[in-house]
Amino acid sequence: GGVINCGPPFKNARVESNRAKAEQLKATGVKICIAPCHNCHGGLDDIIHKYELGMELKFLGEIIYECMEKPEAQ
**pLDDT, tens digit, 9 for 90 and up, residues 40-58:** 898 899 999 999 999 999 9
* pLDDT at residue 39 in the model: 86
Low-confidence ranges of the chain (pLDDT < 50): 1
pLDDT of residue 6: 63
Q: Give 1: exposed, middle or buried? Use CB within 10 Å, 0-12, 13-18, 19+.
A: exposed
Hey, where are the domains in the chain?
A: 3-67
43 exposure class (CB count in 10 Å sphere: 0-12, 13-18, 19+): buried
Which positions ≥6 away from 60 have C-beta within 8 Å? 34, 35, 36
Closest CA relative to residue 47, chosen from 20, 29, 27: 20
Looking at residue 10, what is its pLDDT?
74
Q: What was the pLDDT predicted at 2?
A: 58
